A and B are shown apart, each in its own frame.
Chain A
């Protein structure tokens, strides 16, 4: 079920009413209802993969219980290893099997050896990367002693399958979300209002910004060989906003939906395009994944301790694994590598924690220096996005090369019967909205709150893409 579908528009109020008005006295019934609703939400897409979530839930529930009750460190370690093998094994099979087979065959054929093998027709279960990481973090936290294993299977199953964040995050930690299933919630009006506002803002980001940009991006990237420099720059620029609007929009709807049911999820985006350097960008982009890798990979590898070489190795590993997490394609690995290369100079010069505050804090406008820093950081991120969007690394290089070799900056009429520059005004308005509300989660604050809400609704109606609505990009990861 998609957040931007009519089905969800019916589903959410029904769930909300049953949750708050029918099951308001019984915690177990509420959690069981969330579990059922979550399975319906997921099963709407493809019920066959419900078994996979149920299996993952059962395995991690049982293993975590065993870890918790075990006195032997070796046994605990072995149980953790079993959990890792099962979870990563499932992820590896469904997401990476064909990729590894293809890469293997290609590697051998480049050596002149022909391999006869076949790939499988594997459908990638939506959200597998997200819920696998979520269950993994639970088992690891129990192993580390940071968390008691859950003794309530319904609570745990509801935590794993919690529908607002099941298919595309935020990747919630058990330590934050699981305890929220243990208490009977009272309706919090302010929390619910902020939830509705976040949903509205998330819809705007998805339906107006991301989906409108998608039309231009697809036209430009699919025909990049016939595009001039300006169109190619705009294509990359639009994709930067498409992926941001798409994913931040999804996260905001997810967080808002959870709030309607009385749950607090972690923030996933904090205005990443207002970052002054790449380190700051990664503290603001897909925060739940960045912190996951930090806590469960980077720090266990040694983090920023040890020699410079060790630090470099750790940064390279974390960024490339992060890239690979996004998809079974070398383009994602290269995207991760590029970000590592952007990040390493800051690490070496110990400047990676220079910008921990909000840009232009307590000021209306940024300084010239800050403005240039933001543009430079956005430019680097956009170059990397070309590799993220392109079908192959070669295509991405060819795309970037054409920008510099074509040197034609005239406005092109695209095959979608629109001029290449038409999206700029909408993006400009969006950036202004974000800039003036960067201290908040969404723009609906202050004296003119209702005017802002009304204008966003008007833009949703007039500029939203409904006839050709797109899946959320992060569903494929």
Chain B
């Protein structure tokens, strides 16, 4: 039994040492390299004054080209939308940006079926986890505490989210530094795709984190704007979005605004060509 126990103990020791070394290495890489995504940008850099700030999901990230807005208006613009992000993610990001000094004139919130989700997305939590302790992140109304395993078991927090923050993300952090790409925040989809439509249903009209974001904008004396980004023409029940007008003053429904399939990468996302046209429409309708 002695030899067996020694063998097992040796394997456990190797696992622990490996986990500890990797834990420290990953921690170092994520905290000591320059920003690769919008969250890291919000934590690692001082933020300037921005005239137009856009928050939301990929239905903002793929739709609003800030370079175009800056070229037309001569004012500064940042698209801080996160692909797959929720309204809680957007709120946390805004708070972090503000901590780094961000001030802004106008805040744009895109409203859609994601309203029913008041949770933080797994992807956003995964991207926060390596940074929470290092940057001592604390935000009112948001639970950012690490679990016991995440805090004390070496490498657990990376294994838990390996798909998002595993070894590929580490290498990307080191070798594919995307700071320049995330500065203005627009990510385009450069293809015309299949616009298989579905039906809008289960729409809700309030979200705790939209309310909190509204309060933030009010505190910051910024003007807040609401709209819904376009869907492909086959999307059904888009008129339901009109009810947002009852709750959000100045709201504009673009859900069924474009009928041209060539503008869409899929039914819920515009491609680059569509985004350029839509961005100009936003500039015009909101008098930017």
Contacts and interface: CB of A to CB of B under 8 A. Distances in A.
Contact of B161 (A200, A464, A467): A467
Nearest to B165: A467
B283 interface: no
Given A454-B18, A466-B162, A193 B3 contact: yes
Interface in A183-213: 187, 189, 192-193, 196, 200
B220 interface: no
A464 B18 contact: no
Contact of A196 (B2, B7, B15): B7
A312 interface: no
B146 interface: no
Contact of B166 (A192, A450, A454, A462): A462
Given A461-B15, A463-B167, A466-B159, 12 more contacts: A20-B1, A193-B4, A196-B4, A196-B7, A450-B10, A457-B11, A457-B15, A461-B18, A461-B155, A461-B159, A462-B22, A467-B159
8 contacts: A196-B4, A196-B7, A454-B18, A463-B167, A464-B162, A466-B159, A466-B160, A467-B162
B222 interface: no
A457 B16 CA distance: 10
A467 B18 contact: no
A77 B161 CA distance: 57
A457 B18 contact: yes
B4 A189 contact: yes
A453 interface: yes
Contacts of B155: 461
B164 A467 contact: yes
Contacts, number: 53
Contacts of B159: 461, 464, 466-467
Nearest to B15: A457
Given A457-B18, A461-B22, A461-B159, A196 B8 contact: yes
Nearest to B160: A467
Nearest to A260: B4
A189 B11 CA distance: 16
Interface in A418-477: 418, 450, 453-454, 457-458, 461-468
A196 B162 contact: no
Nearest to B26: A462
A189 B1 CA distance: 6
Nearest to A21: B1
B142 interface: no
Contact of B1 (A187, A418, A457): A187
A12 to B, nearest CB: 11
A453 B14 contact: yes
Contacts of A465: 162-163
Contacts of B131: none
A461 B167 CA distance: 9
B115 interface: no
Interface in B125-172: 155, 159-164, 166-168
Nearest to B155: A461
Contacts of A187: 1, 4
Across the A-B interface, give the 8 residue pairs with the lowest CB-CB distance, nearest first.
Answer: A466-B159, A462-B167, A192-B4, A467-B163, A189-B3, A189-B4, A467-B162, A193-B7
Contacts of A215: 163
Contact of B11 (A20, A200, A467): A200
A461 B8 CA distance: 17
Given A196-B8, A466-B160, A457 B14 contact: yes
A453 B155 CA distance: 19
Nearest to A199: B11
B19 interface: yes
Interface string B58-69: 000000000000
A123 B274 CA distance: 47
A123 B155 CA distance: 37
A453 B11 contact: yes
Contacts of A450: 10
Contacts of B22: 458, 461-462
B160 A454 contact: no
Contacts of B3: 189, 193
Contacts of B162: 464-467
A418 to B, nearest CB: 8
Contacts of B161: 467
A122 to B, nearest CB: 30
Contacts of A196: 4, 7-8, 11
Contacts of B1: 20, 187, 189
Contacts of A466: 159-160, 162
Contacts of A193: 3-4, 7
Contacts of A192: 4
Contact of B163 (A200, A457, A468): A468
Contacts of A20: 1
Contact of A454 (B2, B4, B14, B164): B14
Contacts of B15: 457, 461
Contacts of B166: 462
A59 B121 CA distance: 51
Interface in A289-340: none
A193 B8 CA distance: 8
Interface in A212-269: 215
A196 B8 CA distance: 8
Most buried by B among A465, A467, A468: A467
B37 to A, nearest CB: 13
Most buried by B among A192, A450, A461, A464: A461
Contacts of A462: 22, 166-167
Nearest to A226: B194
Interface in A95-128: none
A192 B4 CA distance: 7
Contacts of B10: 450
A467 B165 CA distance: 10
Nearest to B164: A467
Interface in A4-29: 20
A187 B164 CA distance: 43
Contacts of A453: 11, 14
Contacts of A467: 159-164
A468 B166 CA distance: 12
A464 B160 CA distance: 11
A463 B160 CA distance: 12
Interface in B1-55: 1-4, 7-8, 10-11, 14-15, 18-19, 22
Contacts of B168: 418
B241 to A, nearest CB: 27
Contacts of A200: 11
B120 to A, nearest CB: 16
A189 B8 CA distance: 11
A461 B155 CA distance: 8
Nearest to A225: B194
Contacts of A463: 167
